[in-house]
């Protein structure tokens, strides 16, 4: 449930102490209609009232102090909030219904987050539950404009508006995720089970979150820490048929009271294990994975100040499909010419060489001070360590060390001061600072490096009547020094770089009618070249390429314009976004059309090159309530990318995608609640816009997948257990995807049945 906006806070005051009154209005978050009969309980007074027909409540004889309000309403979740007296203004509390049967739900709702500088889409609640068990990159594919870059059936990287890797920032619980994200087969090291909400910000969003976010930002947010005394939690279980994946994830949390009031804690852990995935015809050898993650949090929350400590660890071991082991060009061409991998496989959970092993530790400490209901200072410190080991086949020397070992440690500090300048202007100013140290061992792919970066920003938003205008500015500085051995002299050399840039964004929203608004944004962002783009030089075995860095690369600059129109009514909800992202100095690996001979044979050589590129497209999503219980959703993602410098298409850009869903929601009937059945068809077109002679094989054909879901919630004791059952690729069709780097070697997985269960539990409850 969400408390969205204190328009401002509370209360007409009269004279001295304990003569204030506390009054406010409770509204439904989705419709803005008043909530009649909501229970408003004030902890400090031990008194409650019910809201009137216009959603209003009032308490008299209020003293000058903090009050904790608990709001409960049938079919809404519990909501609590702390209010400081005295404050003038009107308190509006928004309640979100938990059973959204009376309104249209678009998968991935438009959020009402204050910032309008970028299009935002959110996945939470039932929509998130439906994709539980999937990796982050796979889960986000349900959102228009978001795609995935795949390496076999288990490695997914999110792609937003055609770009990925370093051009997307992922904020894991508020901390910028820093691993070796430049690698196309390096998936985000995040356990999606920590999140109760995934937010996708499309388009350059550098102002608030830091440079590099040319494509967009992904926010992975856990639930707020509990505030009501007691201990509760939930267990999630997922089983899938195709790769016989089993996932179990548990969470337990609690809050304390009396002298320890304000203290809360949470522990969480996930175990995922899967074996070889199966295409309609054969198993893919060595595609299993094993993942163990846990996190723990301790928070102290008071009205005026508070803080939290958070620690999480992510561990994965990912088998690399052995059928993809093409060491040279002839190997790749031979593999392409085979209808299926030459080596028959079978089901097994065993993970053999080649495989990747990644461990990611995150420690975070944050604190806040609230100066008033609108002004607060947040400080976050984080330390991350990402250790990646990649193992090839066991070498002839018998050495069991990894071929590649990279250890990246990042320290960051973020300070944000949120403030309201007047009733119509609010915003935030802040600072982000980070330093990273990278240590490599064994083979040389990227060198050791140390970097320092810092940025300051300011964003202000002005709202008046139907207009909202928001603008932001940012300045960043980045310094990088690499430590590497000179090729001939064997002396340590230290190439050093620094970059700085100022960026700005502006957006405006106009509410045409109550349920129709229009947004226009212009923004720019920049990205410094990464160390692999500058200094790599050598065979990239998994890509069958000899990659050559370019020490003269300049920064990449993005100029994005987008417009969005959103309409919501009882029957229809529609959202359309058009974007045009022009990138000056877009860095990519350009084929040199020549070969470098090694003992293994010839490798095609590629050099990091800068061109001017443009990514333009449309993300459209429409939901229509056909009859009371029947909903139709359609989502379209269109994307066109050009290399303006040579007037040709760009490589490895996702094809257009069309998704249609028919969903029937059953009336709550006895024990079964929130029951639904849905059928989805996803059509991915053939990517015809590819440059000539840039690939070993033509892009695979378009394909249509049919998926189905059925789910409901049933009571067990006092809890509602959510159960869902889904089938992906019902037709068990054979297909390959252009965005899968293993498209040369294998089909995608065939039919997959997934059973999901969410079991909440309560161990100790608060005494009412």
Partner 1 sequence: MHKPYIINMKEIQTVLVCITTITLLYSCNKKVEAVAPTISNEALTTVSLIVRNTQAPFDIDTATWQQLLDKNGNPLPTDVSKANLILKANTTYHTELLILDKTQTPYFNVSNEIEARANYHLFFYQPLPSTQTFVIPTSPADQLPLPIPSQASTTGPVTSNPLNLTVTITDHDSNPQQYPLGLQTDFATSAASNGWLRILLRHQPNVKNGTFAPGSTDLDVGYTVTIR
Piece in contact with partner 1 (CB under 8 A), picked from 102-110, 190-198, 274-282, 589-597 = 589-597
User: Any idea how long the chain is?
Assistant: 768
Query: Is 492 a binder of partner 1 (CB under 8 A)?
Result: yes
- Cα 578 from Cα 145, distance rounded (Å): 10
Stretch that binds partner 1, among 242-250, 519-527, 590-598, 682-690 (CB under 8 A): 590-598
The H or E element that residue 331 is part of is helix 329-336
Task: Name the residue nearer to partner 1 (CB basis): 425 or 618.
Answer: 425
Distance CA 250, CA 236 (A): 6
Q: How many other C-beta atoms are found inside a 10 Å radius of the C-beta of residue 750?
A: 20
**Between residue 461 and residue 490, which ones bind partner 1 under the rule CB under 8 A?**
483-490
- CA 691, 697, 698, 703 dihedral sign is negative
Given a contact cutoff of 8 angstroms between Cβ atoms, the answer to whether 158 and 136 are in contact is yes
Which parts of 317-356 interact with partner 1 (CB under 8 A)?
Answer: 325-331, 333-334, 337-338, 342-343
If one asks whether residue 31 binds partner 1 (CB under 8 A), the answer comes out as: no
Interface positions, 259-288, toward partner 1 (CB under 8 A): none
Which position among 228, 292, 298, 596 is part of the footprint of partner 1 (CB under 8 A)?
596
Range in contact with partner 1 (rule: CB under 8 A) among 81-89, 91-99, 249-257, 712-720: 81-89
Among positions 180-209, residues that touch partner 1 (CB under 8 A) are none
Q: Which of 4, 48, 349, 442 binds partner 1 (CB under 8 A)?
A: 442
Nearest-approach distance from CB 443 to partner 1, in angstroms: 6
Per CB under 8 A, 646 contacts partner 1: no
392 is a contact residue toward partner 1 (CB under 8 A) = yes
Q: Which is nearer to partner 1, 510 or 696 (CB)?
A: 696
The answer to whether 20 and 45 are in contact (CB under 8 A) is no
With a CB cutoff of 8 Å and minimum separation 6, the contacts of 238 are 132, 133, 245, 246, 247, 248, 754, 755, 756, 757
Task: Please give the size of the binding site for partner 1, defined by CB under 8 A.
Answer: 79
| Phi (first) and psi of residue 159, to 5 degrees | -125, 125
With contact defined as beta carbons under 8 Å apart, do 244 and 232 qualify? Answer: no
**Closest CB to partner 1 among residues 286, 610:** 286
- Tell me the torsion sign for CA atoms 750, 751, 753, 754: positive
Q: Which residues pair with 635 in a beta bridge?
A: 621, 659
> By the 8 A CB rule, do 681 and 706 touch?
yes
C-beta of residue 440 within 8 angstroms of C-beta of residue 406: yes
Q: Nearest-CA neighbor of 634 among 678, 675, 667, 666?
A: 678
Among 33, 53, 599, 627, binds partner 1 (CB under 8 A): 599
Q: Which of 252, 379, 511, 755 binds partner 1 (CB under 8 A)?
A: 379
Q: For partner 1, which is the closer residue by CB, 189 or 378?
A: 378
Given 110, 241, 435, 584, the residue binding partner 1 (CB under 8 A): 435
Residues 685-744 interacting with partner 1 (rule: CB under 8 A): none
Q: By C-beta, is 329 or 578 nearer to partner 1? A: 329
- Residue 492 CB, nearest approach to partner 1 (Å): 5
Contact 194, 220 (CB under 8 A): yes
Residue 10 is a binding residue for partner 1 (CB under 8 A): no
CA-to-CA distance for 310 and 166, rounded, in angstroms? 25
The pair of structure tokens assigned to 319 is 């088998």
Does 176 bind partner 1 (CB under 8 A)? Our answer is no
Preceding amide of 354 cis, omega within 30? yes
Strand pairing report for 56-62 and 537-540 = unpaired
Considering the complex, state which of residue 32 and residue 424 has its C-beta at the smaller distance from partner 1.
424
Q: 37, 61, 77, 371: which one contacts partner 1 (CB under 8 A)? A: 371
Q: Is 174 in the site for partner 1 (CB under 8 A)?
A: no
Query: Which of these ranges, 140-148, 187-195, 444-452, 562-570, lies near partner 1 under the rule CB under 8 A?
Result: 444-452
At closest approach, how far in Å is the CB of 592 from partner 1?
13
Report the nearest approach of partner 1 to the CB of residue 395 (Å): 4
Q: Which is nearer to partner 1, 32 or 598 (CB)?
A: 598
Q: Please give the radius of gyration of the chain, using alpha carbons only, rounded to the nearest integer.
A: 27
The DSSP bridge pattern shows strands 91-95 and 20-28 to be parallel
**643: helix, coil or strand?**
strand
Q: What angle do CA 482, 488, 489 make, to 5 degrees?
A: 75
403 binds partner 1 (CB under 8 A): yes
Per CB under 8 A, 539 contacts partner 1? yes
Residue placing its CB nearer to partner 1 in the complex, 156 or 608:
608
- Report if residue 84 touches partner 1, rule: CB under 8 A: yes
Query: How far is the CA of 408 from the CAs of 34, 35, 503, 689, in angstroms?
Result: 51, 51, 28, 37
14 binds partner 1 (CB under 8 A): no
Among 440, 635, 663, 756, binds partner 1 (CB under 8 A): 440
Asked if 495 is part of the footprint of partner 1 (rule: CB under 8 A), the reply reads no
Q: Which stretch binds partner 1 (CB under 8 A): 74-82, 84-92, 250-258, 310-318?
A: 84-92
Under rule CB under 8 A, residue 47 binds partner 1: no
Q: What is the DSSP string of 88-123?
A: -S-EEEEE-BS--TTS---SSEEP--S--SSEEEEE
Q: Does 417 bind partner 1 (CB under 8 A)?
A: no
Q: Does 396 bind partner 1 (CB under 8 A)?
A: yes
Closest CB to partner 1 among 302 and 644?
A: 302
Of the ranges 35-43, 149-157, 594-602, 681-689, which one interacts with partner 1 (CB under 8 A)? 594-602
Residue 395 binds partner 1, judged by CB under 8 A = yes
Stretch that binds partner 1, among 182-190, 366-374, 662-670, 734-742 (CB under 8 A): 366-374
Smallest distance, partner 1 to C-beta of residue 305, A: 5
First CA to last CA distance, the chain: 20
Q: Does 370 bind partner 1 (CB under 8 A)?
A: yes
Name the β-bridge partners of 229.
none
Q: Which stretch binds partner 1 (CB under 8 A): 376-384, 461-469, 636-644, 659-667?
A: 376-384
Contacts by 587-596, CB closer than 8 A, 24 or more apart: 587/529, 587/533, 587/553, 587/556, 588/613, 588/650, 588/651, 589/545, 589/547, 591/693, 591/694, 592/548, 593/693, 595/329, 596/546
Q: How many CB atoms lie within 10 A of CB 273?
A: 18
Residues 704 and 681 sit within 8 Å (Cβ to Cβ) = yes
DSSP classification of residue 9: -
Residue whose CB is less far from partner 1, 126 or 374: 374
User: Rounded to whole angstroms, how far apart are CA atoms 207 and 457?
Assistant: 6
User: Least distance in Å: CB of 610 to partner 1?
Assistant: 23
Nearer to partner 1, 77 or 330 (CB): 330
381, 462, 477, 725: residue in contact with partner 1 (rule CB under 8 A): 381
Applying CB under 8 A, does 87 fall inside the site for partner 1?
yes
Nearer to partner 1, 442 or 725 (CB): 442
Distance CA 143, CA 682 (A): 12
| CB-count exposure of residue 396 (10 Å: 0-12, 13-18, 19+) | exposed
Judge residue 41's burial from the number of C-beta atoms within 10 Å of its C-beta, 0-12 exposed, 13-18 middle, 19 or more buried.
middle
Instruction: Determine, following the binding rule CB under 8 A, whether residue 439 of this chain makes contact with partner 1.
Output: yes
Residue closer to partner 1 by CB (options 384, 752) is 384
Cβ atoms 320, 286 nearer than 8 A: yes
Among the residue ranges 72-80, 446-454, 663-671, 677-685, the one whose residues contact partner 1 (CB under 8 A)? 446-454
CA distance 12 to 87: 7
By CB under 8 A, which span of 166-174, 408-416, 503-511, 551-559 interacts with partner 1? 408-416
Q: Order of strands, edge to edge, in the sheet holding 20-28?
A: 56-62, 20-28, 91-95
């Amino acid at each position: 449930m969400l408390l969205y906006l204190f328009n401002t806070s509370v209360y007409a005051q009269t004279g001295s102490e304990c003569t204030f009154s506390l009054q406010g209005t409770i509204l439904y978050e989705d419709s803005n209609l008043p909530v009649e009969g909501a229970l408003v309980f004030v902890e400090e007074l031990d008194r409650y009232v019910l809201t009137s027909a216009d959603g209003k409540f009032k308490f008299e004889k209020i003293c000058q102090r903090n009050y904790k309000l608990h709001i409960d309403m049938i079919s809404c979740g519990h909501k609590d909030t702390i209010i400081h007296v005295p404050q003038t203004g009107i308190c509006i509390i928004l309640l979100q219904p938990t059973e959204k049967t009376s309104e249209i739900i678009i998968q991935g709702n438009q959020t009402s987050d204050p910032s309008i500088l970028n299009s935002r889409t959110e996945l939470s609640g039932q929509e998130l539950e439906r994709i539980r068990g999937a990796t982050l990159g796979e889960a986000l594919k349900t959102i228009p404009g978001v795609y995935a870059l795949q390496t076999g059936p288990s490695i997914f990287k999110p792609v937003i508006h055609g770009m990925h890797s370093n051009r997307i920032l992922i904020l894991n619980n508020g901390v910028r995720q820093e691993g070796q994200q430049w690698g196309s087969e390096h998936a985000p090291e995040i356990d999606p089970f920590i999140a109760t909400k995934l937010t996708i910000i499309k388009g350059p969003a550098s102002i608030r979150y830091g440079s590099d976010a040319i494509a967009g930002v992904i926010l992975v947010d856990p639930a707020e820490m509990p505030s009501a005394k007691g201990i509760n939690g939930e267990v999630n279980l997922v089983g899938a048929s195709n790769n016989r994946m089993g996932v179990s994830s548990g969470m337990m949390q609690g809050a304390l009271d009396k002298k320890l009031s304000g203290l809360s804690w949470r522990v969480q852990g996930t175990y995922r294990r899967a074996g070889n995935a199966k295409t309609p015809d054969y198993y893919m050898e060595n595609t299993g994975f094993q993942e163990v993650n846990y996190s723990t949090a301790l928070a102290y929350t008071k009205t005026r100040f508070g803080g939290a400590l958070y620690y999480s660890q992510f561990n994965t071991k990912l088998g690399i499909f052995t059928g993809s082991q093409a060491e040279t060009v002839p190997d790749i061409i031979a593999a392409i010419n085979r209808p299926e991998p030459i080596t028959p496989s079978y089901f097994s959970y065993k993970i053999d060489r080649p495989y990747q092993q990644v461990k990611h530790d995150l420690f975070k400490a944050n604190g806040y001070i609230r100066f008033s209901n609108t002004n607060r200072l947040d400080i976050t410190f984080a330390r991350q360590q990402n250790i990646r080991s990649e193992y090839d086949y066991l070498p002839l020397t018998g050495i069991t060390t990894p071929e590649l070992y990279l250890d990246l440690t990042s320290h960051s500090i973020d300070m944000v001061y949120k403030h309201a300048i007047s009733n119509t202007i609010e915003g935030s100013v802040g600072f982000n600072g980070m330093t990273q140290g990278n240590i490599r061992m064994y083979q040389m792919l990227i060198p050791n490096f140390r970097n320092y970066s810092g940025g300051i920003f300011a964003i202000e938003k002005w709202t008046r009547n139907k207009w909202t205008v928001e603008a932001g500015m940012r300045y960043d500085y980045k310094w990088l020094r690499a430590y590497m051995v000179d090729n001939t002299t064997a002396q340590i050399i230290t190439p050093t770089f620094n970059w700085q840039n100022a960026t700005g964004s502006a957006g405006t929203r106009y509410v045409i009618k109550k349920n129709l608004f229009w947004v226009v944004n212009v923004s720019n962002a920049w990205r410094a070249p990464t160390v692999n783009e500058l200094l790599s030089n050598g065979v990239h075995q998994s890509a069958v390429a000899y990659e050559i860095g370019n020490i003269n690369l300049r920064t990449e600059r993005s100029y994005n314009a987008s417009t969005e129109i959103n309409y919501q009514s009882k029957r229809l909800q529609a959202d359309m976004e058009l974007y045009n992202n022009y990138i000056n100095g877009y860095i990519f690996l350009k084929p040199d059309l020549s070969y470098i001979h090694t003992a293994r044979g010839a490798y095609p050589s590629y050099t990091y090159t800068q061109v001017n590129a443009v990514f333009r497209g449309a993300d459209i999503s429409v939901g229509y309530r056909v009859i009371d219980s029947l909903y139709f959703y359609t989502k379209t993602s269109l994307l066109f990318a050009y290399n303006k410098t040579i007037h040709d298409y760009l490589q490895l850009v996702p094809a257009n995608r069309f998704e249609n869903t028919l969903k029937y929601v059953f009336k709550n009937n006895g024990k079964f609640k929130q029951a639904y059945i849905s059928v989805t068809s996803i059509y991915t077109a053939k990517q015809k816009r590819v440059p000539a002679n840039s690939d070993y094989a033509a892009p695979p054909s378009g394909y249509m997948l049919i998926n189905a879901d059925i789910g409901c919630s049933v009571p067990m004791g006092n809890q509602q257990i959510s159960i869902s059952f889904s089938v992906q690729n019902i037709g068990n069709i054979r297909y390959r995807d252009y965005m899968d780097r293993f498209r040369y070697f294998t089909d995608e997985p065939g039919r997959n049945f997934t059973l999901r269960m969410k079991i909440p539990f309560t161990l100790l409850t608060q005494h009412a």
